Structure 1
């Protein structure tokens, strides 16, 4: 009772508080005159309780003074809505087109060629499977259940931990096809019976694993749905974190990414071709013969080539900025040792250090291009990179000859040491961290190895042609072109330097020209490999003109040789299409290993062959060079035949008739013929 009394007293105290004043608005009295009919309607409307005349008149005036939106505004709003719907429709159509293209490329890559005996059976089985596919597509369309949307929602539910919801959804999806199969009738059952149980199992298992097996599809999110501890490192391999920032602008890419790596490649080309200018001074000071001169020049290619694979792995893992910045310091040390060498072994060690230090210059530049530039502009950017880098070959001609006469070869290498240190610091300070998008980060988990490169049919088709042509062109231009012009053409020092300068300019222009041609023809669906084969044919003809001493201006064949050295624009652009972006440095390194390995073999081999003839007055006979160059032509011709072998087989099959049991003459349209048969699973 006491508690109730206290509660009542508390209520009395609460009720005793003054009530808050209601907020009122100032009102003015306005006299208006209305017609009798409007006054009558106003009286009828205000008969209901709670509605006054002032309230009603005020509401009517408010509605009159704030009219509804105009027809134009409504039409504009509706058109904006239609426009947004069309944007979503365009996005969905692009998604569908990309999905179909990726699936088609995957199927073309993994489908083996069909033998002549099994082509009819394969066509019949494909027709039956297509009927099943059409029925499934029709069911999906009628039920309005997009498979892509279902999969995306399922992945989202898995990432949020909705395991029970996913299980119920799968049960529903399983029940619906069963009900549909029961209604489908004997036709669908008969089609399903056309596939043996093993093929049915493989097909269902392939449907489940397609996302993980396709080269361009992301991994199954169930493999990544494990919880990550709060203090754990989500990137245990030490790779760069996935950047969430916007891509670099065009000018920033050029100034802070492209030009620093182009400067590094410029130094690599300068170190590569400088031996043609300093070899007479080295031969006179150290008493070197042709074999020793060839070994000194080719050891650069040997070390350069052997370092391609390890440097490629480091570039993919650590990024081009760190790797290239450190390697150029090694090159600067090698230049310092070369400038202070007092014996032939010291020259060899210093030359090897230079080769190791600049071994990543080209690959780092190509890696940066693949990472930051659009894929359709890779060939053009490669052309500009190699064009600017090949200006080092231009510098190694007349400018280097002038510096040699003015300061000597030892002081020249002191200048190169300072420049190499400067470029190393520029790359390490100016170049930003590599940009890795989520697609690359996901694809990086796929089990790709170097064996994936060297066992790829497309790589095996293009690698011999690229290595024999580009490696031979490098070997000739960096050393033996100067010797040919002196011993065979009989040119003096000034004329020889002019020819070498012209060749260096041809190398630079060739890189830019080939990149632009590849970029233009790519839009016309002409593959880069075809252009590379054309360059190989021209290079072989130019060497034949030199070997046979065809009466042509010597500048013409040597200009073609220099342009062939720029064909890396084409081969690296082709290899970039074969493998994922995060594997670019290793795939380029695998090809570059063959380039420099062949350059070492040819450069040393030419010196070995030429050395079999006795020198006469410090000059070797023309037949020695013709024999050595002729061997190069033989290897290049064999590589061209190997590259063109699929077309040769196809031409022979069409010219001499297909064997019995093939599709020829069976009335089957050409679209049903095995499209992968001519190149044995290749991509062209």
Structure 2
């Protein structure tokens, strides 16, 4: 249980960094003189560096295991947090976000591989779901608690405290986790990279890729960046009110993770659960498109519904696992995680440029965000339609597939079935 607590702490700090900007974005924008496109790029720099770092971190996880890799990378996050806390212009803030993205890159994949190496395979889904749920505390800490700290110590002082906490977690990973170093791997770097590239040649995964690119990206565009400015611009919400609304959304995300996992277990049809949850997650975006300036309470309701149904990334990973053989599982998860975070980076940066264009065209504030919500909705529709053409699960005749299509033998995923 001690090792699981350490993994939960590491995953918590990663979730905190992903969403912290939404609460303090107005204050950071004012002090660093950032417009919408700059803020979008600032947020996306975390995710693009996170995605790119999946390649070296995946290789290091295969060579040295989760203990050393996670602990080592977290020190980059400490440096990034400290740099952010003293940034006086845009460029240092971007560099800080890049360091944060790289520092958090191996945590989720490394946690899954650590669990897979250290625990009974039949308990993989349960233990991973447990870590995700408990780790969601980090997302909650990035809402009202961060807002309260920012009110008391300023956003710079708050980040210095977060840097100290991150350093403690890095030490916990180094000294609190037992070694999970895998057996000697004689693959060359070239062969490892070729193996990662081979994942993208699995045609059965192609209909899933748009959902990997869009689903989590839409959720994080709202939770990670624009929810805070939206509430401040249209309703005059202060940091405390923004934190409270985003806390409700974060709680919904944590509950939704278990709810979608239970539905997947009940109906034994991951693809259908993903489609239904995605459609339900699109509804609040449509609602905000029609009523962008109705009230902060309607916005909170929409954000809660988006959080409840929008975090289907674990189910997508569960679905994709059925197309991968065991020797490609680690690299497959790294590649698909990279695809998901590239999507987040592109959507966050693109949405910033979209809002900047809307401002230049002198749209009203309500219409600026209406354009954002309708664009996110259209992206979801396209991804859902393509995903409908995916296979229900892997077949044995695929070049990189599970050996068996039996669901018990495949152990399908992060929140899959417990049998």
TM-score under structure 1 length normalisation: 0.53
- SS of the aligned residue for 2:322 comes to helix
Native 8 Å contact 1:276 1:479 kept in 2: yes
- Partner residue, 2:271: 529
Pair 1:328–1:492, CA change in 2 (3 A): closer
- SS of the aligned residue for 2:291 comes to coil
- Partner residue, 1:572: 317
Pair 1:497–1:387, CA change in 2 (3 A): same
Aligned mates of 1:281, 1:602 — CA distance in 2: 22
- Partner residue, 2:283: 541
Aligned structure 1 segments of 4 or more residues deviating by more than 6 angstroms = 681-684
Pair 1:501–1:297, CA change in 2 (3 A): same
Residue by residue, what CA displacement relative to the aligned partner does 1:582-632 show, whole Å, maximum 9, x if unpaired?
A: 533321111111111111111111111111233899x96111212122222
Which residue of 23, 46, 60 corresponds with 1:314? 60
Residue by residue, what CA displacement relative to the aligned partner does 1:194-215 show, whole Å, maximum 9, x if unpaired?
A: xxxxxxxxxxxxxxxxxxxxxx
Native 8 Å contact 1:294 1:604 kept in 2: yes
Mapped pair 1:559 → 2:304: yes
Bigger mean CA deviation after superposition, 542-551 or 311-320: 542-551
Native 8 Å contact 1:371 1:581 kept in 2: no
1:431-470 to 2 correspondences below 5 Å: 431-434=177-180, 449-470=195-216
Pair 1:564–1:302, CA change in 2 (3 A): farther
Residue 539 of structure 1 and its aligned partner are, at CA, apart by: 1.3
Residue 426 of structure 1 and its aligned partner are, at CA, apart by: 0.9
Structure 1: unaligned runs, 5 residues or longer? 1-253, 648-674
Residue 325 of structure 1 and its aligned partner are, at CA, apart by: 0.8
- Partner residue, 2:334: 589
Aligned mates of 2:271, 2:60 — CA distance in 1: 28
1:406-555 to 2 correspondences below 5 Å: 406-434=152-180, 449-488=195-234, 491-518=237-264, 520-521=265-266, 526-549=268-291, 553-555=298-300
- Partner residue, 1:603: 348
Which residue of 370, 378, 398 corresponds with 1:626? 370
- Partner residue, 1:371: 117
Residue by residue, what CA displacement relative to the aligned partner does 1:344-395 show, whole Å, maximum 9, x if unpaired?
A: 2111111111111111111111212222334444333332222222221211
Native 8 Å contact 1:610 1:620 kept in 2: no
- Partner residue, 2:384: 640
Aligned residues: 391
- Partner residue, 1:305: 51
Pair 1:435–1:335, CA change in 2 (3 A): closer
Aligned mates of 2:307, 2:73 — CA distance in 1: 27
User: Relative contact order (alpha carbons < 8 A, sep ≥ 6): 1 or 2 greater?
Assistant: 2
Aligned mates of 1:628, 1:342 — CA distance in 2: 29
Based on CA coordinates, which of the two structures has the bigger radius of gyration?
A: 1
Aligned mates of 1:483, 1:308 — CA distance in 2: 30
Pair 1:278–1:620, CA change in 2 (3 A): farther
Pair 1:582–1:316, CA change in 2 (3 A): farther
Residue 287 of structure 1 and its aligned partner are, at CA, apart by: 1.5
Native 8 Å contact 1:261 1:427 kept in 2: yes
Q: CA RMSD in A?
A: 3.1
Bigger mean CA deviation after superposition, 628-637 or 588-597: 628-637
